[in-house]
A and B are shown apart, each in its own frame.
Chain A
């Protein structure tokens, strides 16, 4: 039992890392796209408060461009931690999705605390002997319960909404329900584990066994075994689905919505990248682009006269 459980956890951890790196690389390797920003752009400093940009200045290209990472970090943290955009634009959804996401964040914190506790255990610190070990143990218990309860409430709310809300029903796929039920079962098993082991000692010892490769260890609490197995599978599963938006959101915000880097006239900082994409060959077949099916690059297509193409057809 122990080796199988450990093997599952190790494999799922590897799948998670590989899938996340793959997803990141997939987007990161995409070619430069045309500018498609959307205001407010968070790093525009004071202008961000009303959605302004450097284009509000006469001769903007002669002025030094300031990028305020403070306002960007502030907005990013509000967005990640509190789902600010959902709260603003869809408060009904926020009541369900915020506990769901915050539950997951709490469980990530819980995992970090379990790792901290496991390392303290390896170092020989007594987790129930008062002092730092007890603080970590108490925080672990709080994070674990909070994560399980909030996550379960959120997941139940989201499942109900997907199944019964007239606006969502038609757009809901079997996989959407499966994903939520999958996560709900992890939250519930985590709560069940905590109910019989409030300081999650079994889970901490399991994490310690993962770190020390003590693969024969099995928690005595069956709920903990179930939680470990399902949580491992969820960790591997998430980056393989559209729930990988935690990776993609980096690109939708930084590379699209907030990417206002100018190709400053006279300096042309993107000249090489532009030259590269303009050499890509296109195969669009409409008569005003490629009536004869000949190979051509973007640069050639963009400098052709479509009237002459008509004549050559």
Chain B
């Protein structure tokens, strides 16, 4: 079947001055199943003042907010700094962190488009050319080959297929386009050569952050900077966090009938538990469930009240290696001070990967403290008999979302399944699942981005495939009378799934809600009050 004309976009058009380079026509979006088998509404337009202030001509939305240059000099300065940053990406001193993954991709991607069909964003958009994993990489590659690589100037057309017109608009659009990728690396998984076009998206973000000082407010100013300053990216300092957790303990004690008490700053504890502190505000029942489980199992554990020690978030993972390293070092310094045997990370995919995989070649000596995901431990507790469980309490359809960071990128696939199969008699898998899963659409920090109309993009495009998987998993019981649960054991994914279900009104129209893994465990515990998952509380 021929592609609709409005899903085509030539590489040579990327720098073309126009009001909007690409429009994701709702008619072309990937069809959904019942009850969402109807046409999507048009996009909410960006405000005129937004378009005047920022480069907003990529597609229907905006997230990076690159100010429009006010003079020719500013335009040239943007291009100059960008090229300077790209050059640094290929220098071992500046970019030892990702040099080999980047160079191997830039030099050897065959542009065979095998990766395109693996990308949920490309598929959901109705296969718009601009959202191919190779599209942004090819623009980047041609800029590098033409303007940085020593031999580029001699064979632009021969080797690169034509010169990319390098202007401030090309640069700014490329920066914005780097935020149309969830960096879930599903594309890399399908690449026969082992190229990784998602790493190019991340490296472009790095150029903007590390060289030009341009980043999204959510990831940088209100994210890693605030976290380094105060201790937590919402701005809550240690005292406020302790107060909140105390309140959660009281609330959840009432809910479970247990006397819950979070231990703080216990020197020499076996386990330092670090949550994604976003749970404190958004999902206190997740925090309470961990406390109930750890307390019931008699674990020797603690939380840290030191700044950053109670919040495992590390947004640097998505856009900036230096910010990443700064945050991760602080996390481990907190653990070091307490002298714990190991760190266990709560239900947060990016934070677990950041600390266990990415930081593995940054931390040495005393800072190289043993750490693990909570899933193997939860499996041990559930299977080892430390908890008294009655699966019939979870006698409703449950499906499991695989957070990319934990599953495809860490290989933690089975423990959470073993738990869920033990306590949820009506469990069913999504298709596909495990390491072949699809991203929730909130990956690489998108779940916390809602400015302008970006939320719509998260719903219509990046979250579309996951939502389709959820609806398909429950297709045999899609009527709202049957209450259903999407287990999303990752804070970022949970936020995205909450937002999509809410946007499409799927609690009312299909009876679908969401939550973490520990909530299901506590809901099945026989020595706590029933109905930890309270369907009546869901709005």
Min CB gap B47→A, angstroms:
28
A73-B134 Cα distance, complex, nearest whole Å = 30
Whether the pair A52, B96 counts as a contact (CB closer than 8 A) is no
- Find out whether the CB atom of A31 lies under 8 angstroms from the CB atom of B365: no
A135 within 8 A of B: no
In the bound assembly, the distance between CA atoms of A283 and B197 in angstroms comes to: 25
Is B21 interfacial (CB-CB < 8 Å)?
no
Contact A86 B192 (CB under 8 A): yes
- Asked if A252 is at the interface of the complex by the 8 Å CB criterion, the answer is yes
CA distance A143 to B322 in the complex (A): 54
Which of A41, A83, A298 makes the CB contact (< 8 A) with B192? A83
Q: Which residue of the partner chain B has the closest CB to A158?
A: B112
Within 8 A of A (CB), among B52-97: 81, 84-85, 88, 92-94, 96-97
Taking CB atoms, residues of chain A closer than 8 Å to B129 are 170
Q: Which residue of chain A has the shortest Cβ distance to B368 in the bound complex?
A: A265
Q: A30 touches which one: B99, B159, B325 (CB < 8 A)?
A: B99
Q: A50-B414, A173-B160 are in contact. Are A306 and B364 (CB under 8 A)?
A: no
Residues from 244 to 296 in A contacting B, C-beta threshold 8 Å: 244-245, 248-249, 251-253, 255-257, 260, 262-263, 265-266, 268, 270-271, 273-275, 277-278, 280-289
- A64 proximal to B (CB < 8 A): no
Q: Is A174 an interface residue (CB 8 A)?
A: yes
Contact A171 B111 (CB under 8 A): yes
Q: Are A52 and B88 closer than 8 Å at their CB atoms?
A: no
A132 at the interface (CB under 8 A from B): no
Cα(A89)–Cα(B357), bound, Å: 27
For A32, what are the chain B residues with a Cβ–Cβ distance below 8 Å? Answer: 96, 361
Is B506 an interface position by the 8 A CB rule?
no
Name 19 extra pairs, CB < 8 A, besides A39-B413, A174-B158, A284-B210: A36-B196, A39-B410, A51-B435, A54-B411, A56-B415, A60-B376, A86-B114, A90-B190, A170-B10, A173-B157, A248-B107, A248-B108, A251-B100, A265-B368, A274-B363, A281-B93, A305-B326, A306-B326, A307-B228
Per CB-CB distance, the 4 closest pairs between chain A and chain B, nearest first, are A53-B411, A252-B194, A51-B435, A173-B161
Taking Cβ atoms with an 8 Å cutoff, the residues of A that contact B are 27, 30-41, 44, 47, 50-61, 79, 83, 85-86, 88-90, 93, 97, 166-168, 170-175, 242, 244-245, 248-249, 251-253, 255-257, 260, 262-263, 265-266, 268, 270-271, 273-275, 277-278, 280-289, 298, 301-307
Residues of B within 8 A of A (CB): 2-3, 8, 10-11, 81, 84-85, 88, 92-94, 96-101, 103-104, 107-108, 110-114, 116-118, 129, 134, 138, 155, 157-161, 185, 188-196, 199, 209-213, 220, 225, 228-229, 322-323, 325-326, 329, 342, 356-358, 360-365, 368-373, 375-377, 379-380, 407-415, 434-435
